[in-house]
Structures are given as C-alpha cells and as structure tokens.
Structure 1
Amino acid sequence: MSLIEILWPAFALGILLVFIHAIFGLEIIRRGVIFTDLAIGQIAAVGMAISVAFFDGMYQTPLTLLFALLAAIVIAISSRRVAHIEAFIGLLYALGISSIMLILAQSSEGMELFNRLSAADILFTMPEDLFLASAAYGTIAAVMFLLYPKTSGLVKEILFFTALALTVTSSVQSAGVLVVFALLVAPAYAALVQRRFEPLLFAWGFGSVSMIVALGISYLYDLPTGYTIIFCVVGAASVFVLSKSKRPPVAS
C-alpha cells in the first residue's frame, strides 16, 4: 500500500473539518460568544469520558451527542436570558473539564485519555470514518445554508446551537476538543480581518492550507497530530491577524 493510499483519508478529513467549522466560526465571532464551541466541546467530551470509564467505550456517540445537545440547549436559552454570557459559558467549560478529570481520576490511563480527548490523532483515519463524517457534515452544512437563514428568534438560536452540537459531537470524537476550538476560531478570525475576499471562502482556503501543512509536518517529524494542527492553524492565524492589524492613533 502506497503512502498516498494510507494518508489521503486524513488529509480529506482535515479539509472537511475546516469546511464545516469555518461556517460556525464566522457566526460565533460575529455573535461575540467565542468560547461557545469550547464549552460545548468540553461538555460533549464528558459523554466520551463516561463511555470510556464506565462502559468500556460503548455508547460513545449517543453519550457524546446527549451531553453536547444538553450544553447547546442551555447556552441557547441562557444567551437570551443571562447577563455577561461569556462568563456563564466560561463556567460551563470549567464544569466540563473538572467533570472529565473526576470521571477519569480512578483510571490508570486517565491522563492519556484526557490528552486524547483534548487533541486526537487523525493522521491514520480510515476511509469508512471519512465517509461517515462526509455524510454528517454535508447534512449539517445543508441545514445551515438552506434552513438556518429562514428561521428567527428562539427557533433560530436552538437550530444554530443544535447544529453546532451535532458538529462538535463528531469532531470531538475524531479530532479532540482543542482542535475543534482552533478550527472554529482561527480561520474565521483571519477571514474577518481581511477585506479582499468573501470571508467564508477565505476561511476555507486559509484553514485548508494550514491543515495540510500541519498534517505534513506531523507525519514527517513524527509529532502529535492534534497539537501540530493547533500550533500551525493558530500560529498562522495569529501572524496573519497581527500583520493586518493597525496601530490605534495615539491620543493627544
């Protein structure tokens, strides 16, 4: 089996992850709720931790989805009722991460499992995993492009956060919480500070190039794939944003 046959599913999955997360990332930044995805991802990972700790890895997807939907519904409702919503979302994130540590505390492989939940290795993705992800992300993208713009009010909020929860459920299992956060925020942030290209198209292109570079570096130098993706995507976005930022005028 050639190297291309081994690695092409990982590169394809990387592009898919960039594609779906850029859609939500732009909306999250515009809403000013940057840590929403991180909180939902962390609460979703509680379901994965329960699956590993108590059910030998069984029921992982339904448990992850259950906790992701619960977090999404709480955030959707609280976004219309709670003051200082970012602080509230930060509390949910802290609740999620502490819950995972408590659940995994009695496991001899607790820290290893925690690291995998934070940033997983997608380098040797199987084709069947890629096809399942394509079907899930394609359906969610169709909902966001076709149905979401036609809704309003609380229905629109619930639809958005439910679609985000479904995305996070799949992404956290394949890539990890921190990778999801990086892909949601970094390409979208870079896209919003430039003015030449349509933001979504720029986010797709910027994120895809960063992802391909990260996967290549991870393979060539035998580095942890998840953290290499975070470093490359976030690092590239940080440099780009700084290069585009203008120094504010000095008050006289």
Structure 2
Amino acid sequence: MMELIPILLPAFVAGLLVLSTHIPLGYQVLKRGIIFIDLAIAQVAALGIVMAHQFHFEGLFTGAEYIVSGVFAVAAGTLLALLEKRVHHELEAVIGCCYVLAATAGLLVLAHDPHGGELLKQTLSGSILWVTWDTLLWHGLVVSAVLLTMLLKPNVLKGVWFYALFAIAITSAVELVGVYLVFASLIMVPLATQAMKAGSKRLFTAYGLSALAYALGLTASAYWDLPSGATLVWCLALIALCAVLGGLTQPAKDKPA
C-alpha cells in the first residue's frame, strides 16, 4: 500500500477541494428543490471540455480548456437564473431539458471523432487518481475564491448570483472528478444529514462522512484497480446510508424542561 500513497494523496486532496464547496452548495440545492441542477450544469461544463478538445482550444494557452468549460457553465447558470422567476414551478423540468440537451450535444460534436468515446467517458467518470499537484494548485485558487465569496457574502447563495457561483464551482469539480462524482459529492451526504439542525455540527458531520468515503473509495479503487469515479460514488452512497441507518444524522431531541 505504501507505493500507492504518491497517487492517493493528491487524489484525496482533490476530493477535499471538491467537498469544500459542494457540501454547503449541496444544502442550498436541496433547500431550493432543484436537485438535478448539478447534473445539468456539470454536463454543460463537460460539453465545454468536449468543444475545447474538438476545436483544439487547449493548445492555445494553459487553462484554455477550463475557461471554455467555465464560460459554458456560467452561461447555463445565467440562463437558469433568468428562467427561475418565469418558470418557477417547471424549473426542475427545464433543468432536466438542459441536461439532456448538453449530453446529446456532446454526442453530436464527437460523432466522427475516433477518440470521442474515451473523452466522453473521462468527462463522466473523471480521472481523479491521475491529478497532479500543479493541477491542484490552479483548482485550489478557484475553490478558495468560491469559499471566500460564500464567507464574505453569505447572501449570495440566496439570490440569482447563486447560479453563477455554483457554475464556477461545478466547472472546477468536473475537470477534477467528472460529472457522476460531482452529483454524488453535492447531494448524497448533504441529503443524508439534512435532518440535522443547520449549523457547524451538521456541516462538519457532512465533511467528515464525505472525506471518509473519499479515503475508502480511493484506497479501494487503487488497490483493486477499479474505476475511481464509480467506486467513489458507491462509497459516498454507502457511507450516507450507514449514517442514516445508524442514527448518526438524526436531529438532536430537545431535552425535557
């Protein structure tokens, strides 16, 4: 196992970067009742990666692929923000339409690319085991900016600017871990801990459970040579389920007077 540490350590740090923004954003998504917005925005961000690859933007300058992906995601987030008040009761359906359109657009763009299937697989499942410290430095700056914004302007999560901030966080995460793991990181543990009283205890419980799932999933993936993204999704689901069944995430009972 010792020889796996150089691979597992940067991958685990990548997971912590994703979780740092996705846990609080996940609670906000659940509160708004727009559960599948992360899948939609993540898929649009993945479409941006596909477009950048197809038109060779990544060769223009360092970070070009990320910028193209971010523009796609922010544009989708802005569109959903504009539609929120107009189609409030149908917003979840609109989000689903965005997801399907982005997913099929990727298939169309890569229809004649012999390596298109591998690229689509990578955007969905990610390649977290192969992240480098240089990559993490860039994403760490993005995550720090998102967290700082949420800390200094907590009301940003309540208004329409939530969509833009969400899109930026999702773009960074998709490039690191893929679409599937973005959804799992954002929803599974926050869903399991939602019944707890909002506050630092709930937040740290969610962070702890998610970090444990990442540690176990990465170790299992590397040791048994399993797809990292799929393994981590299942670990997050199992940890969340165990926490619920074990009563760890139940709200504290009020003491009798």
Q: TM-score, normalised by structure 2?
A: 0.87
Report the residue type matching 1:62 in the other structure. Answer: I
| Alpha-carbon contact 2:36-2:96 (below 8 Å) kept | yes
1:194: Cα distance to partner? Answer: 4.0
Q: Confirm or deny that 1:128 pairs with 2:130.
A: no
State the AA in 2 paired with 1:234.
A
Give 2:145's match in structure 1, choosing from 136, 139, 147: 139
Contact 1:148 1:160 survives alignment (8 Å) = no
Which residue number corresponds to residue 164 of structure 2? 162
Following superposition, the deviation at residue 195 of structure 1 comes to 5.2
String of CA shifts for 1:30-85, please: whole Å, max 9, x gaps. 11100111111111111111111221644311210111001100111111210321
CA contact (8 A) 1:193 1:241 kept: no
Amino acid at match of 1:89: I
Deviation at 1:241, TM superposition (A): 3.8
Q: Secondary structure at the match of 2:226?
A: coil
Q: Does 1:219 align with 2:216?
A: no
Instruction: Report whether the alignment pairs 1:77 with 2:97.
Output: no
Change (3 A) 1:184 1:33: same
Of the structure 1 ranges 79-88 and 191-200, higher mean CA displacement relative to structure 2 is found in: 191-200
C-alpha distance after superposition, 1:93-117 (max 9, x if no partner)? 1111011111111111222111101
What per-residue deviation string (whole Å, max 9, x for no partner) do you get for residues 203-246 of structure 1?
Answer: 11111111111001001101111111111112322444456599
* Selected match of 1:202 from 205, 214, 221: 205
Instruction: From the superposition, tell whether residues 56 and 68 of structure 1 become closer, same or farther in structure 2 (CA, over 3 Å).
Output: closer
Residue identity opposite 1:164 in structure 2: F
* Contact map agreement 1:9 1:127 (CA 8 A) in 2: yes
1:148 Cα shift?
3.1
Report the 3-state secondary structure (helix = DSSP H, G, I; strand = E; otherwise coil) of the residue aligned with 2:129: coil
SS in 1 for 2:49: helix
Residues 157-182 of structure 1: CA deviation (Å, up to 9, x unaligned): 33211111111111111111111111
Structure 1 Cα separation of the partners of residues 43 and 93 of structure 2: 16
Aligned match for 1:233, one of 236, 243, 249: 236
Give the corresponding residue for 1:28.
29
Q: Which residue of 1 aligns with 2:184?
A: 182
In structure 1, the residue matched to 2:69 is 64
Q: Which residue of 1 aligns with 2:38?
A: 37
Q: Amino acid of the residue matched to residue 235 of structure 1?
A: L
Which residues of structure 2 form unaligned runs of 5+? 251-257
Work out whether 1:192 is the aligned partner of 2:218.
Answer: no
Q: CA deviation at 1:193?
A: 3.1
Aligned residue for 1:98?
Answer: 104
Q: 3-state DSSP class of the match of 1:216?
A: helix
2:254 match: none
Gap regions ≥5 residues in structure 1: 247-252
Aligned to 1:4: 5
Q: For 1:68, what is the secondary structure of its paired residue?
A: helix
User: Matched residue of 1:198: which SS?
Assistant: helix
Cα distance in 2 between the residues matched to 1:74 and 1:56: 24
How far is the alpha carbon of 1:199 from its aligned partner? 2.1
Distance 2:6 2:93 in 1: 46
- Distance in 2 (CA, whole Å) between partners of 1:97 and 1:112 is 15
Aligned residues: 242
Asked if the contact 2:18/2:185 (under 8 Å) is kept, the reply is yes
Secondary structure of the 1:157 match is coil
Counterpart CA distance in 1 for 2:149 and 2:22 is 14
Q: 2:71 corresponds to which letter in structure 1?
A: L
What amino acid is aligned across from residue 26 of structure 1 in structure 2? Y
